[in-house]
Amino acid sequence: MKVTKENIAGIEVRVWRGGKGAPLLYLHGFEGHPGSAPFLEALCERFEVCAPEAPGFGQSDGLENLHDLLDMSLHQRALIESWGRGPVDLIGHSLGGMFAAELAAIAPHLVRRLVLVDSFGLWLDAAPLPDPFTQTPDALAKLKWHDTANAAKEPTAFDAATDNKATFRTINLSAATKFLWPLPDRGLARRAKYISAPALIVHGESDGLIPARYSDELAKLIPGARVKRIRDAGHYPMIEQEAAFLDAVLTFLG
Amino acid sequence: MKFHWFAEVTYPELPLEPRPGHSTWVTPDWKLVDPVKVGETYRMFIRLMQQADRDGFDGLAVNEHHQTPFAMTPSPNLLAASLASSTEDAAILIIGDSLALYNPPQRIAEEMAYLDCVSGGRVIAGFVFGTPMDSVFAYGNPPVELRERFHEARKLILRAWEEDKPFAHNGKYNQLRYVNVWPKPIQKRPPIWVPGSGSVETWDLVIEENYCYGHLSFSGLYSAKPMVDAYWEYCAKKGGDMNPHRMAFTQLICCANTDKEAEEKYYEGVKFFYQSNMIDPGFVAPPGYTSIKSAQAMAARVKASPLLKPEDRVRAARGQMSFWEYDEKGYIVAGTPERVAQRVRELAKDLRIGQLIACLHMGNLPEDVAAMNTHLVGTRVIPQLRDLWADQPDHWTPEISQKRMAAKAATKVAAQ
């Protein structure tokens, strides 16, 4: 995939693009953009993939101009419109899943099919989520991965030539706090009923950050949504079980 | 120089044996605490601060923390209210209200104005960001929003004091159709202090607005020196006001009639103080609380500090230093009034400090020892240090307190 800086309605973000075929938009998770990750390259074989970095993450600016989730959705709407290929298939992972669900509710005409992967966006009092921001590295790894040995495979947009190692993660997590702090609930439960695109909820069975009942609840709230569980995978099923993930997603997107 | 009496309102009976996973901030176990004892502790601090007013302190400092037995003062304005109506001369140093946590923020404008009216114009308005534990964990603000919320509140409060007509406020975080705070302060605009932990954004603010800055740590001279030196250097470079009265510093002081008595009476309280400030590492540095620019500047300064080793900090926090090692490493200033006065003079000159926030009670110190400390410092240390920076005007404490302190000193001289 190729990465370039693009100006979306006044906000400069990095966008990874590649492949040919039907348009597919991928929104990354709370820890940052995965760069040209193998699973994205695999999607490029079937789709024209566009994977933007969210404002405030990595080398993308403009978070100070986004006050809330509506502003973020409008930014993403502008991105699809400037691309000129909507409606798109939309995959959102983790925090990106929360963004994708909101976008699908607000701009249904731009979303053909929706895939939410281990998505944030809900809060259930009966099953409080762990705080992703206070964990030690070891504790976070245990929550994130089915097998912590897979941590070494985690793809990243980190660029040694331009990024500072000490601050890269802080930049990404700082931006994530805007939408996940103190609880990752900005009202999706109220708005999910407006989603009209066919939706697939993908869930890594061992995800300690987003337990299974959150996927079930999301499926209940989004009309017609169904859940696909991925065995032996945690918060990153596309990394830990790439083949099973791609199979589920490609089957659904058709 | 000026002296402000201060103590963290620490719960004195917390069992401190190491318990894995226990933090005395954000998630401490309330089952370990007796609310009756909490009430007695509050009353003790009110008595001690009333005594400090009589004993010659320039100010009585109160602060804001949440969800911790280390500092049980969720609203400094409540403690200040007890003092405003029961003391006479000393400034009421609110250091400070956490601006981002009050919604709408004119609550602070109102309460500080109330306190200024009750005290006859003795309020110092301290505006703080709040520690990460307070502002982002206990009160749930996304760390990336904290600075914006602080500045919006700060500007709103100042305007609310200044305007004599109702106005509308259309902010990012607060929308108000009719801002018209009631009452307004006797001092049209009370002196403003903004303490910080080394963020360059805060330096720019205090230099530009000529606020009193403060370095409020409990780690003493050597820990503070790289940061405070860097601040003054930055201030000089920016053409800011170099008056030492616009720099505040906290220091634990343990004063007694002999050095031996100091060790006997204060050592347990000092250890208890540091040990009861156990912060889970997860709560120390949430992403976005410190800007990237400031984080890089602060990291560079820590590396440049040769005076206090990281292992010293760990041992101090665990109560593993001897009493005189705490003193030698700067965590406390202990001993006879003469020794304390000499060391405070060195410290104040070294760091260019005109406002000393003296912590005269610490941990589980008995009330009578804190009362002795207050009396010795008030009557035998402070008078020795009045000459320091006396050639420079102090625009950062209330005029009425300065006048009354001067009158009190003159009466004392006349009586001798």
Three-state SS letters, chain A = CEEEEEEECCEEEEEEEECCCEEEEEECECCECCCCCHHHHHHHCCEEEEEECCCCCCCCCCHHHCCCHHHHHHHHHHHHHHHCCCCEEEEEECHHHHHHHHHHHHCHHHEEEEEEECCCCCCCCCCCCCCCCCCCHHHHHHHHCCCHHHHHHCCCCCCCCCCCHHHHHHHHHHHHHHHHCCCCCCCHHHHHHHCCCCEEEEEECCCCCCCHHHHHHHHHHCCCCEEEEECCCCCCHHHHCHHHHHHHHHHHHC
Residue B294 near residue B200, CB atoms below 8 Å? yes
Of A53, A59, A3, residue with least CA distance to A171: A59
The 10 Å Cβ neighbour count of residue B40 is 12
CB proximity A131 to B under 8 Å: yes
CB proximity B281 to A under 8 Å: yes
CB proximity B21 to A under 8 Å: no
Instruction: Suggest the residue from B292, B298, B303 to mutate for an interface test with chain A (most A CBs closer than 10 A).
Output: B292
Question: Helix, strand or coil for residue B416?
Answer: coil
Task: Tell whether omega for the bond before A34 is within 30 degrees of 0, i.e. cis.
Answer: no
Summarised one tens digit per residue, pLDDT across range A45-94 is 999 999 999 999 999 999 999 999 999 999 999 999 999 999 999 999 99
Chain B residues within 8 A of A67 when measuring between CB atoms: 172
Among A167, A172, A173, the residue with its CB nearest the CB of B295 is A167
Q: Under an 8 A CB cutoff, do A177 and B286 touch?
A: yes
Question: Helix, strand or coil for residue B258?
Answer: coil
Q: Which amino acid is at A138?
A: D
Question: Could you give the C-alpha distances from B139 to A58, A133, B8, B212, B293, in angstroms and in order?
Answer: 27, 15, 20, 26, 25
CA distance A181 to chain B (A): 5
CA distance B136 to chain A (A): 8
Q: Enumerate the β-bridge partners of residue B316.
A: none
Of B116, B131, B188, residue with least CA distance to B158: B188
What average pLDDT does this structure show over A119-129? 97
Distance from C-alpha of B380 to C-alpha of B336, rounded to nearest angstrom: 10
Q: Under an 8 A CB cutoff, do A174 and B287 touch?
A: yes
Of B185, B154, B189, B193, residue with least CA distance to B171: B154
Antiparallel, parallel or unpaired: β A2-8 and A199-204: unpaired
Angle (CA) B211-B214-B220 rounded to 5° is: 160
CB proximity A166 to B under 8 Å: yes
CA distance A44 to chain B (A): 33
At residue A116, φ and ψ (nearest 5 deg) are -110, 120
Across B161-232, the runs of DSSP E, i.e. the strands, are: 167-170, 175-179, 192-196, 212-215
Residue B247 has what pLDDT? Answer: 98
CA distance A167 to chain B (A): 7
CA distance B288 to chain A (A): 4
Distance from C-alpha of A165 to C-alpha of B20, rounded to nearest angstrom: 31
Instruction: Suggest the residue from B139, B141, B144 to mutate for an interface test with chain A (most A CBs closer than 10 A).
Output: B144
Distance from C-alpha of A106 to C-alpha of A187, rounded to nearest angstrom: 13
Summarised one tens digit per residue, pLDDT across range A151-205 is 999 999 999 999 988 899 999 999 999 999 999 999 999 999 999 999 999 999 9
Question: Helix, strand or coil for residue B184?
Answer: coil
Residue A132 near residue A30, CB atoms below 8 Å? yes
CB proximity A178 to B under 8 Å: yes
Among B143, B172, B295, the residue with its CB nearest the CB of A181 is B143
CB proximity B132 to A under 8 Å: no
With the CA atoms of B90, B96, B101 and B102 taken in that order, what torsion angle do they form, in degrees rounded to the nearest 10?
30
Chain A residues within 8 A of B142 when measuring between CB atoms: 177-178, 181-182
Q: Sign of torsion, CA B245 B251 B254 B258?
A: negative
Q: What is the DSSP letter of B370?
A: H
Instruction: Suggest the residue from A120, A133, A165, A173 to mutate for an interface test with chain B (most B CBs closer than 10 A).
Output: A133
Residue B18 has what pLDDT? Answer: 63
Burial (Cβ within 10 Å: 0-12, 13-18, ≥19) of residue A137: exposed
Q: Under an 8 A CB cutoff, do A181 and B281 touch?
A: no
Burial (Cβ within 10 Å: 0-12, 13-18, ≥19) of residue B238: exposed
Distant-in-sequence contacts of A213-217, Cβ < 8 A, 24+ apart: A213/A124, A213/A127, A214/A119, A214/A122, A214/A124, A214/A127, A214/A129, A215/A118, A215/A119, A217/A122, A217/A124
Tokens of A8: 């979306």
Residue A114 near residue A197, CB atoms below 8 Å? yes
Burial (Cβ within 10 Å: 0-12, 13-18, ≥19) of residue B395: middle
CA distance A200 to chain B (A): 30
Q: Under an 8 A CB cutoff, do A173 and B287 touch?
A: yes
Residue B265 near residue B256, CB atoms below 8 Å? yes
Q: Under an 8 A CB cutoff, do A177 and B142 touch?
A: yes
Chain A residues within 8 A of B143 when measuring between CB atoms: 174, 177, 181
CB proximity A213 to B under 8 Å: no
Q: Under an 8 A CB cutoff, do A133 and B140 touch?
A: no
Global model pTM greater than 0.90: yes
Q: Under an 8 A CB cutoff, do A134 and B142 touch?
A: no
| Spans of chain B below 50 pLDDT | none
Of B68, B215, B298, residue with least CA distance to A170: B298
Chain B residues within 8 A of A181 when measuring between CB atoms: 136, 140-143
* Chain mean position to CA B104: 24
CB proximity A123 to B under 8 Å: no
CB proximity A136 to B under 8 Å: yes
Angle between helices A69-83 and A95-106 (to 10 degrees): 70
CB proximity A65 to B under 8 Å: no
Residue B305 has what pLDDT? Answer: 64
Residue B188 has what pLDDT? Answer: 95
- Chain A residue with the nearest C-alpha to that of B140: A182
Chain B residues within 8 A of A170 when measuring between CB atoms: 287-288, 292, 295
Tokens of A237: 């099923």
Among A164, A166, A170, the residue with its CB nearest the CB of B287 is A170
Angle (CA) B86-B92-B93 rounded to 5° is: 150
Tokens of B49: 């601060």
Q: Under an 8 A CB cutoff, do A166 and B281 touch?
A: no
A·B CB contacts under 8 A: 58
Tokens of A21: 């075929």
